[in-house]
Amino acid sequence: QDEALVREALLGLSRSYAPYSHFHVSAALLCGDGSIYTGNNIENAAYSATVCAERCAFFKAVSEGCRAFKAIAVVGGGQGAPASYTMPCGVCRQVMMEFCNPETFEIVAAISESDYQVYKLKELLPEAFGAL
Ligand code: THU
């Protein structure tokens, strides 16, 4: 399951729009019903309008009606294949917190299908502020 999710994320890397940082990021989000939504970073000349790959995937899924999530794979790097693990930024972790159970939701930070690390959201966003 993790390998399949990483594969989807790697396939999406070419769709990253990153003309400013040249850092390409792609994510594949596994929903409760087994469907997968991909996302990639989309940068903007006004830098703060940039959206990360993870939030792109979440907003695509939520806007299509998905509310249950199991895991997200994330890959990133410069041109070519990823060389190190790309960890979700703080804002993306907070968006995950809005929709996911921090005890069970998994973040798969990957370099390749055979080289990845798995974290629970709770580990990456301890003492989180959750939905009221
Ligand atoms: N970025 C992501 O898409 N996800 C992450 O987890 C880290 C950072 C993007 C934002 C920006 O387009 C580029 O990577 C450099 O920060």
State residue 80's pLDDT score: 77
CA–CA distance from 2 to each of 29, 119, 121, 129, 130 (Å)? 11, 12, 15, 27, 26
CA of 41 to the centre of ligand 1 (A): 6
- pLDDT tens figures, 46-90: 999 999 999 999 999 999 999 999 999 999 999 878 999 999 999
pLDDT at site 131: 79
Residue type, position 110, single letter = A
Indicate the SS3 state at residue 127: coil
Largest CA distance in the chain: 42
| The one catalytic residue among 3, 8, 43, 54 | 54
Choosing from 22, 52, 107 the residue with most ligand 1 atoms within 8 A of its CB, the one to mutate for a pocket test is 52
Can you give the pTM of this predicted structure?
0.97
- For residue 25, the SS3 value is strand
Nearest to 108 by CA among 89, 127, 88: 88
For residue 89, the SS3 value is coil
User: Contact at 8 Å (CB) between 2 and 69?
Assistant: no
Closest C-alpha residue for ligand 1 atom 1? 52
Q: What integer best gives the mean pLDDT of the chain?
A: 97
pLDDT at 115 over 90: yes
C-beta separation of 92 from 29 below 8 A: no
Intra-chain end-to-end CA distance of the chain, in Å: 32
Contact status, residue 34 vs residue 66, Cβ threshold 8 Å: no
Q: Hey, is 113 helix, strand or coil?
A: coil
From the CB of 109, is ligand 1 less than 6 Å away?
no
Q: Is 43 a catalytic residue?
A: no
Residue nearest to atom 13 of ligand 1 (CA): 23
**pLDDT > 90 in the chain, percent:** 95
Length of the chain: 132
